A and B are shown apart, each in its own frame.
Chain A
Amino acid sequence: MMKERKTVIECRNVSKTFYSMAGDNLVVDNLNFNVYENEFVVLFGPGQCGKSTILNLIAGLEKPTGGEIIVSGEKVTGPSPKRGMVYQTTNLFMWYTVMQNVEFGPKMQGVPKKVRRERAQKYIDLVGLKGFEKHFPVKLSGGMQQRVGIARAYANEPELICMDEPFGHLDAQTRYLMEEEVERISNSDRRTVVFVTNNAEEAIYLADRIILLHNCPTSVHKEYIVDLPRPRDYTSPDFLALREQITAEMDNTL
């Protein structure tokens, strides 16, 4: 199955220790994995194991204390517009409208207004927020806010999008809708995605490949290739069997 696939992310022996007065806290311990072009990889691990830390390292918001991360052949040394991020909590710019939020990335790159408006509109439509362009985020529900966050990351057209438990705070119903939404978006606008979650169902529904993480200090515990046909059915026997298997393995990570 593997031919020559372009590697987008290479994590080589990555470690991260937080130093503080209270003592050193090793959170990521010798982490190694690759992500290939247009792959949808889910990082799946128990709460507080260091998932957000790994994404922050990839995004360049934190620096590794050991090893290195290569994205598209370049070593990560700081944040870059080539690597988009959707965060765990909603963090839209409350003082901007939906449109102004989504066009923020291209605007920072100096893309002319007409072009960036068109591009932002495309992604606003894609996440199903047509008609809400002039609304301020406070007026939107949690699910809608996360959609704006997703559109904002996509509108910058990065090589790589990191999503950190974007649906963690949503109720189950909205969560299913959003998962379908992400599935649909990544079908029509194929990109390399690293998606973090601690929900097995969500992981299996979305992933091409699941990387199961150890508890803190974290590293790769096990990998699963998910080749169920898409869109996946939460209740199919294959889905349930895989879910069973991963949940059981999860207990071994602790």
Chain B
Amino acid sequence: MNTEKINTAKKQKRKYQIISVLSVCVFLLVWYLATAVFELAPSYSLPSPVKVFNTFLTKLHSKAPDGATLPKHFISSLQVAMLGYLLGAVIGVPLGIAMGWFKTVDKIVRPVFDLIKPIPPIALIPVMIVVFGISIKAKAVLIFFSTVIPCITNSYSGIRQTKQIHLWVSQTFGASNMQMLFTVASPSALPMIFAGLRVAMGSSWMALVAAELLASTSGLGYLISIGRSLLRSDLIIVGILCLGMINIVLTAIFNLVEKRFVRGGKDE
């Protein structure tokens, strides 16, 4: 009976996969028909999928017209994103945890934090350019800001939501304050912390692309903005699809890491 259940589940999954593939194919077909066959839009404004694919292949090795190959742009974007993101997470998560657990830390950090929190990170781009110039530093600091804030907020409320009864249990087992923090409060906050890291990933990626569109000399955002000024919409679409693809890959990696760390599942 159980194997039967698994089989139906497998069938369901297979069916879903087929539908997904079909729907993407239909989308591509409509795109192809609209552009290459019926020519509803001029090819400089909306190129056909074939043209986009060709551009993608040539951009893999060609430096024209923007000065770097696609993998170079790709790596450049990813490098900055990782640097800022990791820095933001490594500082934000422990800081949020400390603010949630120790009243004095909360009192000291809170005023500054409340001041910075409402600023949308993208609004910081001009400041960063003035301070750091058009450099990798400016972008990394920007991403740091857009990561650190959701990390602090979520870690803080995760710690604050520790159940009183769990603290009681650990107290009746003689746990010290630090033991409670590490064995009870932090693990129980972990799902919230990961939710914060996930939000941070989205917002830092967004901030990066915005920064590259506005002021940059490399990266996928820069490729897109060059495509715009040269009226090369095929280039723009290649850039956009790559951005989307990176996000899918990063999310998948993130899910794996989360699964490894957040164990046991939720109460009730």
Chain A residues within CB distance 8 Å of chain B: 59-61, 78-81, 83-85, 87, 89, 91, 93-97, 104-105, 107-109, 136-138, 156
Contacts and interface: CB of A to CB of B under 8 A. Distances in A.
Given A94-B266, A95-B264, A136-B265, A80 B187 contact: no
B178 to A, nearest CB: 11
Interface in B176-191: 176, 179, 183-184, 187-188, 190
Contacts of B175: 108
B172 A93 contact: no
9 shortest interchain CB distances as A-B pairs: A81-B174, A136-B264, A105-B173, A95-B187, A79-B171, A138-B265, A95-B264, A108-B175, A91-B165
Contacts of A61: 168, 171-172
Interface in B134-177: 163, 165-166, 168-176
Contacts of A108: 170, 173-176, 179, 183
A104 B173 contact: yes
Given A93-B187, A94-B267, A80 B174 contact: yes
Q: Which of B163, B183, B187 has the most C-beta atoms of chain A within 10 angstroms of its own C-beta?
A: B183
Given A60-B172, A93-B166, 5 more contacts: A79-B171, A81-B174, A84-B173, A105-B174, A138-B266
B263 interface: yes
A59 B172 contact: yes
A162 to B, nearest CB: 9
Given A95-B263, A95-B264, A138-B266, A79 B172 contact: yes
A84 to B, nearest CB: 6
A96 B264 contact: yes
Contacts of A138: 264-266
Contacts of A87: 165, 168-169
Given A108-B179, A136-B263, A138-B264, A95 B172 contact: no
Given A95-B188, A104-B183, A89 B172 contact: no
Nearest to A80: B174
